C-alpha cells in the first residue's frame, strides 16, 4: 500500500509527490531535517525536535516554511491520514528551488517542506536485547555537526564500512577521541559513571541525549560530559548509543573487544526502560 506523504502544502500518494530538479536540497545538500518517533500514534519529544529544527534553519539563514504549531498539525495529519501507530516521521526543509548558483538566491526562495513516515517497531526492538557491535572510523565530516543538515554521505560511508566489517555501526574518532556515532550519540559507563562527549560544534546535540541525561541525573546516576578514547571505551563496563529512532541501544563490542561479557549492560537497559516509560507518558 502506498503512503500518503506531505509536500509543500499537499498530502499526496507517494508516487505523485514531487520536488523540482532545481531544488537546492538536491543540488547542494542545502537542507536540514529532523526525525521524530511516533509511539501509540503520538509524537515523542516534538518540542525538542522543533526547537532544534528552528535553530538549524537559523544557522543557515533559511526561511522557515511554517510555524511550529503548523508543523505539529502536519505531523498529526500525516499520522491520521496513514492510520500510523509506531515508527518515524522524517521531515526535510530545503532552501527551495532556484537556478543553480553557489550563493543563496538574492531574492530569496520559497522553502521546500517534505514529510513522510516509516513504520518501525521502536519500543520492542529485537536489537535492544542483543546489543550492537561498533567499529571506529576517522571523523571526516565538515565542522558544523551541530546543524542537522542532509549532507549524510560520510555517515552513509561509515555505516557501509561497519557493515563490511561485520559490525552494526561506527563511532567516529577525531584528534584521538570519539565524537559520536554515524547517526547517534555515544556513551560509555565505568564504575557507575556515564561518560559522553560534551556539546559543541563537533557533534549533533541529540534530543534523545538531552532527555536521557536528564533522566539519568534524576535517577541519581553520575554523568560526566567529556571526551573519551576508543581504548577507554574498550575498557569500560558497558556502552550505549542514543537517537530518536533507537532510543537507548546497548553496545556490546568495540573494535573487536567485548564489553561486559558481550551482553547489554544494566545501566543502558535501565535507561532504555525509563526513557520509553517517560516518553510514552509525555508524547503529544
CB of 141 to ligand PMP, least distance (A): 8
Is residue 149 near ligand PMP by the rule CB under 6 A?
A: no
**Contact yes or no for 34/55 (Cβ under 8 A):** no
Residue whose CB is less far from ligand PMP, 227 or 263: 227
Grid cell listed for 94: 530545503
One of 51, 130, 148, 258 is an active-site residue; which one?
148
**Contact yes or no for 246/212 (Cβ under 8 A):** no
Is residue 207 near ligand PMP by the rule CB under 6 A?
A: yes
Among 82, 112, 149, 208, binds ligand PMP (CB under 6 A): 208
Residue whose CB is less far from ligand PMP, 98 or 195: 195
Residue 114 is inside which H or E element, if any?
strand 112-119
Estimate to the nearest angstrom the gap between the alpha carbon of 56 and the chain centroid: 14
HSE at residue 240, side-chain half, CA atoms within 13 A, is 30
Residue whose CB is less far from ligand PMP, 71 or 98: 71
Is residue 17 near ligand PMP by the rule CB under 6 A?
A: no
3-state DSSP helix/strand/coil percent for the chain, to nearest 5? 30, 30, 40
CB of 99 to ligand PMP, least distance (A): 31
CB of 209 to ligand PMP, least distance (A): 6
Among the candidate windows 16-24, 67-75, 81-89, 239-247, which touches ligand PMP by CB under 6 A? 239-247
Is residue 95 near ligand PMP by the rule CB under 6 A?
A: no
Report in angstroms the alpha-carbon separations of 97 from 23, 24, 88, 106, 221. 4, 6, 27, 13, 48
Residue 32 is inside which H or E element, if any?
strand 31-39
Report in angstroms the alpha-carbon separations of 208 from 8, 36, 127. 28, 10, 18
18 has catalytic annotation: no
Estimate to the nearest angstrom the gap between the alpha carbon of 191 and the chain centroid: 28
Is residue 56 near ligand PMP by the rule CB under 6 A?
A: no
Query: Site size for ligand PMP, by CB under 6 A?
Result: 13
Is residue 180 near ligand PMP by the rule CB under 6 A?
A: yes
Catalytic residues: 148
Residues that bind ligand PMP (CB under 6 A): 35, 180, 183-185, 204, 206-209, 242-244
Amino acid at each position: 500500500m502506498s503512503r500518503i506523504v506531505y509536500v509543500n502544502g499537499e498530502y499526496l500518494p507517494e508516487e505523485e509527490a514531487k520536488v523540482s530538479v532545481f531544488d537546492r536540497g538536491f543540488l547542494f545538500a542545502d537542507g536540514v531535517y529532523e526525525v521524530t518517533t511516533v509511539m501509540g500514534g503520538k509524537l515523542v519529544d516534538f518540542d525538542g525536535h522543533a526547537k532544534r529544527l528552528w535553530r538549524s534553519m537559523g544557522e543557515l539563514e533559511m526561511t522557515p516554511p511554517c510555524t511550529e504549531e503548523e508543523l505539529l498539525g502536519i505531523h498529526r495529519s500525516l499520522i491520521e491520514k496513514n492510520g500510523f501507530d509506531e515508527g518515524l516521521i522524517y521531515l526535510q526543509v530545503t532552501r527551495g528551488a532556484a537556478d543553480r548558483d553557489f550563493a543563496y538566491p538574492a531574492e530569496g526562495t520559497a522553502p521546500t517542506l517534505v514529510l513522510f513516515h516509516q513504520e518501525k517497531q521502536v519500543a520492542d526492538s529485537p536489537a535492544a536485547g542483543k546489543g550492537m557491535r561498533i567499529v571506529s572510523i576517522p571523523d571526516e565530516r565538515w565542522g558544523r555537526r551541530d546543524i542537522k543538515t542532509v549532507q549524510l554521505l560520510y555517515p552513509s560511508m561509515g555505516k557501509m564500512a561497519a557493515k563490511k566489517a561485520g559490525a552494526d555501526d561506527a563511532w567516529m574518532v577525531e584528534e584521538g577521541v570519539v565524537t559520536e556515532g554515524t547517526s547517534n550519540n555515544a556513551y560509555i559507563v565505568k564504575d557507575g559513571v556515564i561518560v559522553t562527549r560534551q556539546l559543541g560544534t563537533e557533534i549533533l546535540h541529540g534530543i534523545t541525549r538531552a532527555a536521557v541525561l536528564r533522566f539519568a541525573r534524576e535517577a541519581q546516576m553520575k554523568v560526566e560530559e567529556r571526551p573519551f578514547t576508543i581504548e577507554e571505551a574498550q575498557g569500560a563496563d558497558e556502552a550505549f548509543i542514543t537517537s530518536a529512532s533507537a532510543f537507548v541501544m546497548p553496545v556490546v563490542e568495540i573494535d573487536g573487544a567485548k564489553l561486559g561479557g558481550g551482553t547489554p549492560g544494566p545501566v543502558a537497559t535501565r535507561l532504555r526502560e525509563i526513557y520509553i516509560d517517560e516518553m510514552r507518558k509525555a508524547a503529544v
